[in-house]
Structure formats: C-alpha cells, structure tokens
C-alpha cells in the first residue's frame, strides 16, 4: 500500500525505512475497511426491521469513528455506528434510547451488552458499538456516558462526524498527509502502553499540533516533539469540529507520554552514533511489535495491537 506523506517501501537500512514498514502494517487496506463496514450490516438490518416501517427509505445509520474516518489500526477490532432512531422513538433521555437499541439487539446477537454510551455487539474478532442518535440542527445528539463534561439535558452530547472528517481531510491536505500518519502512530502507542487518553482526543491534539508547527515534520521527529508539546498543552478542553460539547482532555496519561519521550530521545541518540538496531528496539518498545527491527524474522501473524482500539 502506498502511504501518502511517507517514504516508499524500502530495505530496513534506515529508521525511515523502518517507519515505512510499520505504517504498512498499521494502516488497514481498502479491503479491510470494506469488510469492517460489512460487519455492521446484520445489526443495522435488525434495527431497521424492528424500528422502521416497510418501505421507509430514510437513512438510518452512519459508520463513524476510526472506520468512518479511515484512521483505524490494523487489524480493525472496533466499529462505531451511529443509528438514527425514528421520530416516534426519539427518546428524551439518552439512557432510554440506549435501552431501545439494546432491546432489539440483545436477543438476536448473543453477548450483546449495554454500556453507558453504546450497545456493544460482538461479531467474530470485532466489536460493533451502536450509538442511538437524534438530529440536532446540522449535527447529532449521541449518548454522552457518565464521564463526559457538560452533557446536554438527558445525557446527550453534540457530535458532528461529517465536520470532524472534513476537518481531518483539510489538515491532511495542508500538511502532506502527516497529521493522519502521526495519529496512526499515536494510536499504536496508546494501544501498546494502554495510555489513558482517547483516540478522539489524540486526533484533536494531532491536528492542533500540526496547525502550529513551524515546519514539515518527518514522523519520528513529530512524535518526539508531540509528546513534549502535548504535556504542556493538557489538561485542557477543546471544541471538536461542528460540535458544541467541550472535550475534556486530562493529564492521567502524561507519565506514559513522558516515558515515550525519553525512550525515543534515546533512540535518536543511538541513530547519531550509528546504532540503528538499538534505535529500532527503542521505537518498538514505544510503538509495539508492528515496528520492525532490522535483521529480524518478518512477522507472520496478527493481531499486532491490543483489541478495543479505535
């Protein structure tokens, strides 16, 4: 797969070559995204068959999150679906809307569970997170869960996945695809070390980081500088594109960001002294087993990342 904004596939004789291999392992291909969207079909069909009258052609769902914006990690293990409830079932409280979706899906799909912000349907090696939604102007209301700051009345928050995707595409076009690559690497780091920061928070921070960047960054340098910058930037509240509900980003993950910063600073030192293998080992400790070490036996099996990664 050709990865925009990063070196072509090459022998792993430079750290750039190692990153090129890492990205080809970490970024899902077109087929993987197609399969992920197809995995949602049974749950969506069950909801439509139960909640909408026959012949109704209303658009009833959107695939959002990492799959919708094509920022997921390979192998894809989570698919977020926003399901539009028909007007007759437009519950006032988010909890009631969740129970409507859960009531339909729990008997059709064994293992379905109800959480505070979604109904989770297990399908083979992936989980489908179905969020009931209501229209709200040009955006949507979705359940906010218990840990979201300033929820709307009834436990809803405002989300605009169309604006989010458009903003990410614009950022990518302005900076040669680098924000999306930075986000991929940050998601791999998050999954590898189990950092307590959401993928959506990393997405917002990555775009803001590049918006203020004085020069184009190669990925390895962007990561080093991002971990230093982000610890100064947070905790903070940011307003997602097209949304009105602030996203609170805390600092509980700062310790792991600091540890990553010092590891990759050591990797940079190794490179300056000609120790490519030692540098690659440090990067693997940060980004996980998908990052190659020159001379190793190529990976033959997946998954490369922990499950429940958006």
The DSSP call for residue 40 is T
pLDDT of residue 242: 79
Query: Using one digit for the tens of pLDDT, what is the confidence trace for 145-202?
Result: 644 333 454 688 889 999 999 999 998 888 888 899 999 999 999 999 999 999 999 9
pLDDT in tens, 38-80: 999 999 999 999 999 887 888 899 999 999 999 999 999 999 9
pLDDT reported for residue 274: 93
CB-based contact 113:119 (threshold 8 Å):
yes
CB-based contact 234:198 (threshold 8 Å): no
Dump pLDDT digits (tens) for 98-112. 999 999 999 899 999
Tell me the two tokens of residue 247. Answer: 């996203």
Q: Cα angle vertex 69, ends 87, 261, to 5°?
A: 130
Query: Residue 61: which of 147, 151, 116, 121 has the closest Cα?
Result: 121
Rg (CA), the chain: 20
* Stronger pLDDT, 259 or 297, i.e. the higher one: 259
Tell me the per-residue pLDDT of 274-286, one tens digit each, with 9 for 90 and over: 999 999 999 999 9
The mean of the pLDDT values for the chain is: 87
Q: What confidence score (pLDDT) does residue 309 get?
A: 47
What pLDDT does 58 receive?
83
pLDDT, residue 239, reads 87
Average pLDDT over residues 122-138: 91
Q: ω before 303 within 30° of 0 (cis)?
A: yes
- Average pLDDT for 249-267: 96
Mode of pairing for the β-strands spanning 78-84 and 126-136: parallel
**Each residue's pLDDT tens digit, 196-221:** 999 999 999 999 998 887 666 788 99
What structural domains and CATH numbers belong to the chain? 31-157 (3.30.460.90)
């Amino acid at each position: 797969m050709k990865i925009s904004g990063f070196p072509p596939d090459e022998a792993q004789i430079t750290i750039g070559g190692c990153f090129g291999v890492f990205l080809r392992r970490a970024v899902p291909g077109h087929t993987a995204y197609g399969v992920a969207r197809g995995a949602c079909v049974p749950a969506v069909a069950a909801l439509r068959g139960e909640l909408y009258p026959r012949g109704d052609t209303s658009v009833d769902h959107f695939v959002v999150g990492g799959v919708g914006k094509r920022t997921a990690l390979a192998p894809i293990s989570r698919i977020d679906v926003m399901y539009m409830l028909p007007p007759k079932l437009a519950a006032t409280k988010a909890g009631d809307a969740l129970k409507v979706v859960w009531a339909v899906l729990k008997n059709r799909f064994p293992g379905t569970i109800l959480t505070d912000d979604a109904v989770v349907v297990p399908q083979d090696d992936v989980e489908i997170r179905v969020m009931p939604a209501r229209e709200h102007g040009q955006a949507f209301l979705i359940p906010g869960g218990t840990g979201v700051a300033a929820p709307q009345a009834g436990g809803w928050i405002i989300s605009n996945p169309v604006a989010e995707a458009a903003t990410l595409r614009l950022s990518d076009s302005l900076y040669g695809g680098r924000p999306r690559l930075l986000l991929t690497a940050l998601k791999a780091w998050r999954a590898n070390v189990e950092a307590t920061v959401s993928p959506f928070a990393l997405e917002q921070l990555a775009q803001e980081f590049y918006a203020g960047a004085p020069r184009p960054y190669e990925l390895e340098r962007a990561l080093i500088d991002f971990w230093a910058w982000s610890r100064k930037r947070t905790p903070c509240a940011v307003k997602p594109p097209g949304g009105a509900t602030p996203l609170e980003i805390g600092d509980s993950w700062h310790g792991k960001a600091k540890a990553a910063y010092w590891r990759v600073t050591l990797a940079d030192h190794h490179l300056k002294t000609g120790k490519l293998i030692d540098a690659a080992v440090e990067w693997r400790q940060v980004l996980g087993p998908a990052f190659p070490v020159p001379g190793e036996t190529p990976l033959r099996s997946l998954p490369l990342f922990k499950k429940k990664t958006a």
